[in-house]
């Protein structure tokens, strides 16, 4: 355990690591895996395995009656259908807001007259560089969705309050969805 010596900046320096070697062990379509050797503050060497990811964006579509729109989608890592907010990965160099707007349209057919940032979250900071940008969409208009090839979704409309309760009962267990819904509820006073 590192004991603080002085101010936060000094503590941060003690906790920081210096990369001394890196190599790409896997280069896939969605992410890369990097193997790193790092030097710790005390001079010892350690290894890190890092998933390099361009990040993603998610969006809460909130209508005038305080309903939110989620999607049900099969998720292969868990071998089950999850209830999530519309979301997608960023293309290299893509603006996160534009990604969120695109995913909302593709997955639900909705467009919004207002899209505001609710911040960002680090999905799994222990081993992955992915940052998920969170947005709130209001002033909704409805149309036809156009999911990506191989993407099968079902849109689900429910009161925001019900979605918050589903977080408490673990019926909604996707981290980005939980964070975004809780931030939205706090913003609108639910």
pLDDT in tens, 101-134: 999 999 999 999 999 999 999 989 999 999 999 9
18-27 and 31-39 as β-strands: parallel, antiparallel, unpaired?
Answer: antiparallel
Q: How confident is the model at residue 26 (pLDDT cuts 50, 70, 90)?
A: very high
Q: Is the per-residue pLDDT at 1 higher than 60?
A: no
In this predicted structure, what is the pLDDT of residue 10? 77
Give the separation between CA 76 and CA 97, rounded to whole angstroms.
Answer: 26
Structure tokens, 176: 């980005």
In this predicted structure, what is the pLDDT of residue 144? 82
Say whether 147 sits in a helix, a strand or coil: coil
Poorest-pLDDT segment among 12-26, 83-97, 101-115, 135-149: 135-149
Poorest-pLDDT segment among 9-13, 55-59, 127-131, 137-141: 9-13
Q: Report the 10 Å Cβ neighbour count for 62.
A: 24
Higher pLDDT, 145 or 35: 35
pTM score, whole prediction: 0.88
Mean pLDDT on 58-69:
98
Q: Tell me what the pLDDT averaged over the chain comes to.
A: 92
Own/partner long-range contacts of 96-99 (Cβ < 8 Å, ≥24 apart):
96/55, 96/57, 96/120, 96/133, 96/135, 97/57, 97/133, 97/135, 99/56, 99/57, 99/133
Q: Which of 96, 97, 101, 106 is nearest to 71 (CA)?
A: 106
Give the residues across from 127 on adjacent strands: none
Poorest-pLDDT segment among 5-14, 19-28, 32-41, 56-65: 5-14
In this predicted structure, what is the pLDDT of residue 147? 66
Q: How confident is the model at residue 148 (pLDDT cuts 50, 70, 90)?
A: low
Domain coordinates of the chain in residue numbers?
8-53, 56-188
Q: How far is CA 166 from CA 67, 123, 169, in A?
A: 14, 20, 5
CATH superfamily of 56-188: Nucleoside Triphosphate Pyrophosphohydrolase (3.90.79.10)
Q: Is the per-residue pLDDT at 41 higher than 90?
A: no
Q: Is the per-residue pLDDT at 31 higher than 70?
A: yes
């Amino acid at each position: 355990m590192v004991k603080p010596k002085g101010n936060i900046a000094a503590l941060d320096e003690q906790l920081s690591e210096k990369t001394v070697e890196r190599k790409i062990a896997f280069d896939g379509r969605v992410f890369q895996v990097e193997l790193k050797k790092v030097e710790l503050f005390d001079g010892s060497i350690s290894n890190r395995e890092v998933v390099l990811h361009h990040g993603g964006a998610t969006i809460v579509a909130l209508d005038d009656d305080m309903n939110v729109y989620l999607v049900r989608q099969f998720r292969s890592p868990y071998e089950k259908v999850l209830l999530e907010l519309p979301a997608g990965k960023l293309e290299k160099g893509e603006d996160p807001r534009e990604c969120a707007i695109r995913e909302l349209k593709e997955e639900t057919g909705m467009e919004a007259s207002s899209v505001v940032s609710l911040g960002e979250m680090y999905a799994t900071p222990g081993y992955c560089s992915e940052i998920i940008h969170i947005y709130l969409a209001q002033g909704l208009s409805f149309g036809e969705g156009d999911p990506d090839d191989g993407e099968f979704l079902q849109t689900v409309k429910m009161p925001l309050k019900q979605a918050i309760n589903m977080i408490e009962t673990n019926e909604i267990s996707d981290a980005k969805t939980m964070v975004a819904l809780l931030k939205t509820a706090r913003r609108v006073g639910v």
